[in-house]
Structure 1
Amino acid sequence: MTRDQRVILTIAILASFVAFLDGSVINVALPAIRDELGGGLSTQQWVVDAYLITLGSLILLAGSLSDVFGRIVILRTGLIAFGIVSLLIAIAPTAELVIVLRGFQGIAGALLVPSSLALIMSTFRGAAQARAVGQWTAWTSAAFIVGPLLGGIFVDLISWRLVFAINVLPIAVTLWMLVVLGHKDERKKDTRIDYLGAVLGIVGLGGPVFALIEQGNYGWGSPAVFVPFVVGLVSLAAFVWWQQRAAQPMLPLDLFRQRNFSVGNVATLFIYGGLSLGGFIVVVYLQEVAGFGATQAALAFLPSSIAIIVLSSYFGALSGKYGPRLFMTIGPLLASIGYVTFLSMQESVNYFTQVLPGVVLFSVGMSITVAPLTSAILGAISAQQAGIGSAVNNAVSRIASLVTVALVGVIVVGALNVENFHRVVLVTAALLFSGAVVSFVGIRNSGHAEDEPTSAAPIIAP
């Protein structure tokens, strides 16, 4: 690598690491936020989903913003905004303010990951690009190990507020490296920003999510619930209609004409929905009902992060040899069985006999799934479409997280207890199983586009 390539790769890794670190740590901090600032399960849902609403809605728009204003400008803006909002969350006096600020943090986060990958794609070519993306994947995946562990230690020994304040250090280093790089931005001419699509997307996601979370407080018959729900659904329909007519849409619907791309994203919706729902409820349950400390709860899923980092490339290579269908079927099935084993958990939980076996099954299942899933989706489209294809898949995974975490309020009746926990576990297992069925029925091993796509890395939704 040249000096500039090394600097750009480091910038891309650090910028993405910030966004992934914040996403991976939040579940561990939720009980502590509730204890200090008040609120029940719906407050905890909103702390997660306020971030995901804006992130999932705007991650596709970030590509257009980078083209119009320049990738480095957008990346710098996202970093500064993320740092400022993180500090404001760290000193927020109320749960309501934390939720509002998390929404703004999601806007900033939406600018980071696509711009980081775009810098890599525009700087590296051929085999060097594949190696750079591989290094980006390995280092950013470390956020899913470091994040929960650091968060647990901060919550147990100091305060949940440090979980957000710690973002300032890597952001400051990244901003300094952008100055050292000294590159001028490249901007594309005749690029339009789909503002209407962005607004429709935010309203379309936000309305139903608000209704799902708040129905437990107001009931489905309340105008405060059914009006946002209906407005959101209408906005989603209008979003699809507009994307068919917009000159430069946020979501190019033509991509979904490729079978493996469309089926793979449906599988993503189920699999990553289950991943987020299960991760949310298990970590919260272990702390609030089973009496685990934040660090202990954070370590519960540590084997899954390690397994995905270590085994994903191996199963990715096997998928390239034998096709993705078998792996996309077996992987979610094993993960589903892993969650079924959590039904043995009661108010008193033994980690080694009631948690670890299920985590191991889940870890192996996700390791088998992640790389073949990404390969199937991006292998169905051309190299020229790889950037937007990866962005669409990342947006789908975030939206899956958003919707399933919002569903917790529908599944859980009253306070979180053993019975409610088991109910959520069964829904999680059903989502993962559905991902396996969709993959088995819909994925084709010969669903590749004529042009081999540029390498792109899976983003594991927190």
Structure 2
Amino acid sequence: MSNAVHVPFDAATVQTAECTRSPAYPRLVVATTILASSLAFIDGSVVNVGLPAIGQSFHADATGLQWVVNAYLLPLSALLLLGGAAGDRFGRRRLLIAGVALFGLASLACTAAPTLVLLLIARFVQGASAAMLMPNSLAILGQSFSGEAKGRAIGIWAATGAAAGAIGPVLGGWLIDAGSWRLAFLINVPLAATAIALASRYVDRDIDDTAGSLDWLGGALATAGLGLATWALTEGSGRAWSPSTFVILGAGLIFSLLFLAAERRLGDNAMMPLSLFGSPSFVGLTLLTLLLYGALGGLFVLVPYVLIQAGGYTATQAGAALLPLPLVIAVASPAAGALAARIGPRWLLITGPVIVAAGFLLMLRIESATSYWLGALPAMVVISLGMACAVAPLTTAVLMSVDSRHTGAASGLNSAVARTGGLVVTALIGPVIASSGSALLSAFDVAAAVGAVLCSAAAVSAATLIAPAAKTRPSVQRL
């Protein structure tokens, strides 16, 4: 669900991609990109509802269930920037079709997986293919439209993606209740087949021979660093901390330092240019994104799980319990974006996380005997209002925090950081998933309180590091 809240936004594509020719069937081009990206939006949210059923099917412990989520988030977080650069180098249409085809095949593998290990491998392939298709679906819109038509197309793409992420848990829950969790993965197959057919027929071929080489080393080091650190955190929180766990965590940190060294050597050609962090505002926005979306990612794994396991909800009901988030954001975000344009994004980025923190504290009201209307709903509405204050202003602030040469890298990195936050927090929620009965509710209360602290820290990072609107971009001169 948090994927639906943080829609990837490639500012370089939106602002600078040139439209070489208008598509003959513009509506079908938009439909193609929507279908392709909906694969990632739906899959990123529907699995959370299916965790209890998957756990029962494979007799999985907390660590296994954490990996069902993180096996997808890990390659998506590490390879998202590389996927966009590969589209520039080898052709966005080609990368889109390859990513969609691989995602469809991986979904079939998830459906037929006889063991948890094979399911996790298929989920990893899904994440890697999502890193290929998500940035390139938006880039195709950037190259196919110009002017106002581009803005309308991107708006439709973003709104539909958010709607797909919202519908996914409800539809997936219904399929789980009607048959099996395996049916939830079959949603992706007809979507993938249709997207491939449309892309092959209606999306123009494109290859940028002037594009530079890809940062393969950075992608490999980022994946190794995140993978080892995630494994250590998952094992430590889900089972027990041991000397080997700390050794693996240290190895992950070493790979992360090697990644930073490699990126420093490549300069502006790196997948994560370190020069971005010369802006205090960008550092503050990165911390805010990591903390806020980390808390949100953990919440949307735990809420359906707790409602099903402790509240007796069906999978459909648990999925529907999350609907206030996209609905409130869809209604309130335009007003927040307009307000950010008038007063600057800083105050909204301080206020929004504080409101979200209050919503997390309201989650403490959830008990096994508490109705949805008095327990989960008020908390979800407050969290939704806080996120509505932050989503649109965050995009604005990211673009304002760096110079025009780095807007694409900055916005892409912000999307990757949002998913990394969810990855890390999901790796730490093992004690909650491992609990049952009243202990599950107590552990969830602790997690909700920690989430409130993370959101409060996000607000502090915004208040202390993000510059006021008039000082956000040093290159802008006053008249």
Q: TM-score range by the shorter chain?
A: over 0.9
Map of 2:185 onto structure 1: 164
**Aligned 8 A contact 2:357 2:451 in 1:** yes
**Aligned 8 A contact 1:154 1:163 in 2:** yes
Map of 2:85 onto structure 1: 64
Q: How does 1:10-409 map to 2 (within 5 A)?
A: 10-181=31-202, 183-189=204-210, 191-216=212-237, 219-223=240-244, 225-246=245-266, 248-409=269-430
Uncovered stretches (5+) of structure 2, i.e. residues with no partner:
1-21
- Say whether residues 1:423 and 2:446 are aligned partners: yes
Distance 2:140 2:409 in 1: 14
Query: Residue 455 of structure 2 is aligned with which of 432, 443, 448?
Result: 432
Distance 2:59 2:115 in 1: 8
CA RMSD of aligned residues (A): 1.9
Deviates more, 1:314-323 or 1:187-196: 187-196
SS of structure 2 residue aligned to 1:291: coil
- Say whether residues 1:448 and 2:473 are aligned partners: yes
Distance 2:401 2:37 in 1: 26
Q: Deviations over 1:51-85 (max 9, x none)?
A: 11111010011122112211111111100000000
Query: Displacement of 1:2 after TM fit?
Result: 5.2
**Aligned 8 A contact 1:152 1:294 in 2:** yes
Deviates more, 1:406-415 or 1:362-371: 406-415
Distance 2:433 2:451 in 1: 13
Describe the shift of the 1:87–1:12 C-alpha distance in structure 2 as closer, same or farther (beyond 3 A). Answer: same
SS of structure 2 residue aligned to 1:184: coil
Distance 2:52 2:380 in 1: 22
Q: Deviations over 1:390-426 (max 9, x none)?
A: 2111100010000010011267775561211111111
Deviates more, 1:52-61 or 1:403-412: 403-412
Describe the shift of the 1:449–1:386 C-alpha distance in structure 2 as closer, same or farther (beyond 3 A). Answer: farther
Query: Displacement of 1:222 after TM fit?
Result: 3.5
**Aligned 8 A contact 1:342 1:354 in 2:** yes
Q: What percentage of residue pairs aligned between the two structures are identical?
A: 36
Q: Deviations over 1:257-309 (max 9, x none)?
A: 23332211110001101111111111111111121111111111211110111
Distance 1:190 1:127 in 2: 27
Describe the shift of the 1:3–1:314 C-alpha distance in structure 2 as closer, same or farther (beyond 3 A). Answer: farther
Query: Displacement of 1:132 after TM fit?
Result: 1.9
Aligned residue type for 1:437 = V
Distance 1:60 1:24 in 2: 21
Query: Displacement of 1:177 after TM fit?
Result: 0.8
Distance 1:147 1:383 in 2: 36
Describe the shift of the 1:120–1:369 C-alpha distance in structure 2 as closer, same or farther (beyond 3 A). Answer: same
Distance 2:375 2:264 in 1: 49
Uncovered stretches (5+) of structure 1, i.e. residues with no partner:
453-462
Q: Deviations over 1:321-373 (max 9, x none)?
A: 11111111111111111110111222323111111111111111111111011
Distance 1:143 1:265 in 2: 26
Q: Deviations over 1:31-52 (max 9, x none)?
A: 0111111112211110000111
Runs of 4+ in structure 1 deviating by more than 6 angstroms, as ranges, are: none
Map of 2:10 onto structure 1: none
